[in-house]
């Protein structure tokens, strides 16, 4: 049988055609009729049959590594949770949501409702080690973290796009969600659009761009500050910018940006002055433009300022919520374009972690950086990890492993074994993406419901069912009064969609192609923005930029940056290892490798300020000199040891710096240090 569905290995949501026999997933190919992905799928999508039945798939509940039946698991877990609630209060029970839960709408809601029911105040997620700066800026400027400006390559008025620290040809973008990226970027260029890639690496996306600027890692904010300076100097500030700012604010901005002049910016960023001038001309000539960032920006120490300056450039060129610029997805459940009342101004009156009052909450979450101290202080004693792998994904895996080991209860719900599942007290084998009903609606340009493609096997159960069973045992209700054994996923989804634009019947009738969201433009100021204006120049950010010291890092250091690999998302391998060329390896420029007498495969020790890792190297001409690049998420050779959970934490987001880190290389099996 052939069934159309949606790949959910990442949030791009490509359409697929799955070949199914009984409960077996035989093969997956791209759905050529899908309105967005047009038949494209990446290797992760092709390998869905493997990942669905992968050798390390979790099929049975485990307590301390011992296989048990579900009733024993649920009774034991509920009893232990009851003991913690009675002894310490429900606030000591927390959850961590990994990126693997992005489309499990029912499971995430049920776990959230369950933990709210027990009185938990401890909610962590990958947001604060991934995307917190982008979210915080949209909260500050537009009123909601969900309002991320997106580039639509098919917008006929779009003529210029800058991709900064992002490689959509591999990552499929970050907040702009780009299935079928290469074909769509080429189509944009074929009709005259210009693409600039600003990245220390000549990425696959850079190879299909008009221009590539190999910027020094960590200096993107300097480039953007200069662009704002130049737009102001050229007298090209948009009317929208004037309408949303006071004269006093503009005078302050001009003063703060005064140091960002061409020769200084060229020195600091390592870019050639003539290239910078070409970029300036392109921006000023284009009028409206799109600027897309990725983890290469959001992992930086100054990510918040970089993201903010991006928004300033966009408003200064009247590119926010305007064709030819960037679109705001109005959302399926939120329906921002239909709001009767604008959003309230974001106010930072946030409850903080007791043990880390220096760190703010993001939305209703505590930052991951607060978790170790919260565990040590006894404020967090039980943790549900929902499809995530903190031991590998968090910065400073040594500390993470140590503190997770102190928890009385570590409950891992996942589809596959992981380093964290190995040390869990309770392991819950939950259904995977092909066995459950999901809602695709977060920020893709269409909304769709994907029913199960195959029936679940072994002892796998949906996360919502597990939460419903635990709630019953603790006298709570998380399924709107329904019994977990009697309610269906369709019933639960109907409840979720009661908040949305159309009901379940409409979405099921639309199938995997879903229903396109209104391509609403120009609605933000009237319907959404607090006080009808972009809060583009908050004093807190002007103050911060004024006091930044943009001096380059010590010249004898390498700078470590992160990269992405096509077969993986963070720590999850989605392609059989024997069919993937992705390995834990550090890449560096051939000239650097030659200068250090490093042959491909040589082992080096990368030594940072916060840790060190042994890893093999390979020469790669796409890497800028002085840069060393590796991918996070490998359990062995984990470069996350180079990042800290205590230093370089942004006080407005709680997110640690995870890229552009100064490091030194030491060759192994040699007494000499090969510093540079
Ligand atoms: S880009 Fe790849 S992983 Fe993401 S949805 Fe498409 S096929 Fe799946």
Region 530-540 average pLDDT: 96
Q: Give the torsion through C-alpha atoms of 268, 271, 273, 276, to 10 deg.
A: -100
User: Which of 554, 560, 548 lies closest to 650, judged by CA?
Assistant: 548
Q: Using CA atoms, how far apart are residues 326 and 314, in angstroms rounded to an integer?
A: 8
Ligand 1: residue whose CA is nearest its atom 4: 10
Q: How many CA atoms lie within 13 A of 634 on its CB side?
A: 20
> What does the alpha-carbon distance between residue 450 and residue 444 come to, in Å, rounded to a whole number?
14
| Nearest partner of 72 among 563, 383, 459, 525, judged by Cα | 459
Spacing, Cα 47 to ligand 1 middle (Å): 10
What number is the average pLDDT over the span 465-470? 98
Residue to mutate (ligand 1; options 12, 30, 446; most atoms within 8 A of CB): 12
Q: Among candidates 19, 575, 450, which has minimal Cα distance to 29?
A: 19
Confirm if 198 and 534 have CB atoms less than 8 A apart. Answer: no
Structure confidence at residue 671 (pLDDT): 42
Question: Regarding beta strands 149-150 and 327-328, do their DSSP bridges make them parallel or antiparallel, or are they unpaired?
Answer: antiparallel
Q: Which residue has the higher pLDDT, 637 or 472?
A: 472
Q: Measured in angstroms, how far is the CA atom of residue 179 from the centroid of ligand 1?
A: 7
Most confident among 307-316, 518-527, 564-573, 581-590 (mean pLDDT):
307-316
**CB-ligand 1 contact for 45 (6 Å cutoff):** yes
Residue 640 CA to ligand 1 center (angstroms) comes to: 25
Ligand 1 atom closest to the Cα of residue 45 is: 7
Phi, psi of 290 (to 5 degrees): -120, 145
Please, which pLDDT band fits residue 556 given cuts at 50, 70 and 90? Answer: low
* 257 pLDDT tier (thresholds 50, 70, 90): very high
627 lines ligand 1 (CB under 6 A): no
Number of Cβ within a 10 Å radius of residue 538: 15
**Cβ of 10 less than 6 Å from ligand 1:** yes
Bridge partners (DSSP) of residue 28 are 18
- Average pLDDT, rounded, for the chain: 93
Residues 6+ apart with CB under 8 A from 445: 36, 152, 177, 329, 516, 517, 519
Q: Phi and psi of 437, rounded to 5°?
A: -95, 125
Cα(559) to centroid(ligand 1), Å:
30
**What span, in angstroms and rounded, lies between the C-alpha atoms of 177 and 150?**
8
pLDDT higher than 60, residue 675? no
Residue 287 to residue 318: CA distance in whole angstroms: 8
| Cβ 564 under 6 angstroms from ligand 1 | no
Ligand 1 pocket test: pick from 27, 40, 41 the residue with the most ligand atoms within 8 Å of its Cβ: 41
Q: 449: CA distance to ligand 1 center in Å?
A: 16
Instruction: Tell me how far apart the alpha carbons of residues 580 and 305 are, in angstroms, rounded to a whole number.
Output: 37
The tokens describing 196, both together, are: 């600039």
Instruction: Look at ligand 1, atom 2, and give the residue with the nearest C-alpha.
Output: 42
CA of 9 to the centre of ligand 1 (A): 6
CA–CA separation, 326 vs 318, rounded Å? Answer: 10
What is the DSSP code string of 601-663?
T-EEEEEESS-EEEEEEEE-TTBPTTEEEE-S--STT-GGGGS-SSSSB-TTT-PBP-SSEEE
Q: What is the pLDDT of residues 266-318, one digit of tens each?
A: 999 999 999 999 999 999 999 999 999 999 999 999 999 999 999 999 999 99
Percent share of the chain, pLDDT over 70: 97
CB of 12 within 6 A of ligand 1: the answer is: yes
Can you tell me which atom of ligand 1 is nearest the CA of 30? Answer: 7
SS (H, E, C) 81-148: HHHHHHHHCHHHEEEEECHHHCCCHHHHHHHHHHHHHHCCCEEEEHHHHCCHHHHHHHHHHHCCCCCC
The SS3 call for residue 422 is: helix
The residue nearest atom 6 of ligand 1, judged by CA position, is: 14
pLDDT band at 442 (very low <50, low <70, confident <90, very high): low
Q: Indicate whether 674 pLDDT > 50.
A: no
Distance 380 CA to ligand 1 centre (A): 35
Q: What is the average per-residue pLDDT within 137-150?
A: 95
Q: Report percent pLDDT > 90 for the chain.
A: 84
Mutate to test the pocket of ligand 1, among 10, 13, 574 (most ligand atoms within 8 A of CB): 10
The crossing angle, in degrees rounded to 10, of helices 273-286 and 220-233 is 60
Q: What is the CA radius of gyration of the chain?
A: 25
Say whether pLDDT at 146 is over 90. yes
Calculate how far, in angstroms, residue 479's C-alpha sits from the geometric centre of ligand 1. Answer: 31
**Position 670 pLDDT exceeds 70:** no
At 672 the pLDDT is 45
Q: Which of 9, 443, 564 to mutate to test the pocket of ligand 1 (most atoms within 8 A of CB)?
A: 9
* Å from CA of 17 to ligand 1 middle: 13
Q: For residue 150, give Cα distances in angstroms to 256, 330, 331, 442, 498.
A: 28, 11, 12, 13, 26
Contact yes or no for 494/503 (Cβ under 8 A): yes
Q: What is the 3-state secondary structure (H, E, C) of 348-409?
A: CCCCCCCCCCCCCCECCECCHHHHHHHHHCCCCCEEEEECCCHHHHCCCHHHHHHHHCCCCE
């Amino acid at each position: 049988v052939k069934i159309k569905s949606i790949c959910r290995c990442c949030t791009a949501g490509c359409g697929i055609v799955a070949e199914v026999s009984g409960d077996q997933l035989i093969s997956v190919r791209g759905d050529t009729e899908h309105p967005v992905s047009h038949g494209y799928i990446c290797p992760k999508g092709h390998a869905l049959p493997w990942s669905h039945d992968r050798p390390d798939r979790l099929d049975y509940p485990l307590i301390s590594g011992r296989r048990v039946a579900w009733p024993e698991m649920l009774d034991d877990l509920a009893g232990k949770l009851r003991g913690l609630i009675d002894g310490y209060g429900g606030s000591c029970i927390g959850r961590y949501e990994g990126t693997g839960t992005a489309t499990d709408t029912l499971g995430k809601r049920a776990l959230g409702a369950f933990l709210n029911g027990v009185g938990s105040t401890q909610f962590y997620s990958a947001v604060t080690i991934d995307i917190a700066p982008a979210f915080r800026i949209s909260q500050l400027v537009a009123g909601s973290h969900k309002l991320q400006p997106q580039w639509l390559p098919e917008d006929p008025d779009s003529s210029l796009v800058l991709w900064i620290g992002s490689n959509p040809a591999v990552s499929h973008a970050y907040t702009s969600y780009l299935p079928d990226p290469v074909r769509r970027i080429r189509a944009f260029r074929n009709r005259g659009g210009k693409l600039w890639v600003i990245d220390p690496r000549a990425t696959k996306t850079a190879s299909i761009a008009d221009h590539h600027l190999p910027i020094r890692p960590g200096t993107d904010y300097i480039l953007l500050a200069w662009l704002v300076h130049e737009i102001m100097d050229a007298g090209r500030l948009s009317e929208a910018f004037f309408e949303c700012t006071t004269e006093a604010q503009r005078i302050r901005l001009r003063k703060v940006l005064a140091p960002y002049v061409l020769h200084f910016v060229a020195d600091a960023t390592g870019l050639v002055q003539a290239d910078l001038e070409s970029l300036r001309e392109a921006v000023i000539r284009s009028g409206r433009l799109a600027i897309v960032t990725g983890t290469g920006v959001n992992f930086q120490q100054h990510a918040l300022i970089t993201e903010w300056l991006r928004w300033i450039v966009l408003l200064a060129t009247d590119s926010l919520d305007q064709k030819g610029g960037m679109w705001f997805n109005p959302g399926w459940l939120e329906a921002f374009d239909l709001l009767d009342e604008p959003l309230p101004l974001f106010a930072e009156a946030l409850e903080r972690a007791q043990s880390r009052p220096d760190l703010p909450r993001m939305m209703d979450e505590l930052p991951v950086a607060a978790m170790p101290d919260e565990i040590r202080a006894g404020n967090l004693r039980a943790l549900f990890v929902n499809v995530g792998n903190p031991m590998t994904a968090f910065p400073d895996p040594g500390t993470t492993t140590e503190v997770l080991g102190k928890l009385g209860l570590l409950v891992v719900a996942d589809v596959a074994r992981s380093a964290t599942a190995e040390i869990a007290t309770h392991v819950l084998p939950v259904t995977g993406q092909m066995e459950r009903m999901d809602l695709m609606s977060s920020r893709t340009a269409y909304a769709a419901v994907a029913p199960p493609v195959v029936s679940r096997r072994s002892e796998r159960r949906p996360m919502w069912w597990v939460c419903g069973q635990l709630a019953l045992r603790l006298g709570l209700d998380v399924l709107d009064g329904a019994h977990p054994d009697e309610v269906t996923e369709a019933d639960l989804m109907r409840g979720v969609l009661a908040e949305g634009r159309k009901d379940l019947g409409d979405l099921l009738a639309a199938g995997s192609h879903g229903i396109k969201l209104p391509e609403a433009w120009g609605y933000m100021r009237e319907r959404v923005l607090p006080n009808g204006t972009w809060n583009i120049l908050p004093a807190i950010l002007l103050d911060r930029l004024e006091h930044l010291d943009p001096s380059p890092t010590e010249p004898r250091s390498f700078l470590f940056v992160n990269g992405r690999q096509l077969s993986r998302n963070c720590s999850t391998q989605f392609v059989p290892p024997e069919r993937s060329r992705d390995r834990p390896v550090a890449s560096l420029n051939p000239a650097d490798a030659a200068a250090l007498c490093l042959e491909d495969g040589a082992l080096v020790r990368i030594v940072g300020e916060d840790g060190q890792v042994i890893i093999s190297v390979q020469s790669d001409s796409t890497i800028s000199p002085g840069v060393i690049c590796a991918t996070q998420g490998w359990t062995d050779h984990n470069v996350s040891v180079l990042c800290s959970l205590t230093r370089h934490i942004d006080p407005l987001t709680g997110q640690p710096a995870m890229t552009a880190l100064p490091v030194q290389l030491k060759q192994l099996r040699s007494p000499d240090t090969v510093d540079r």
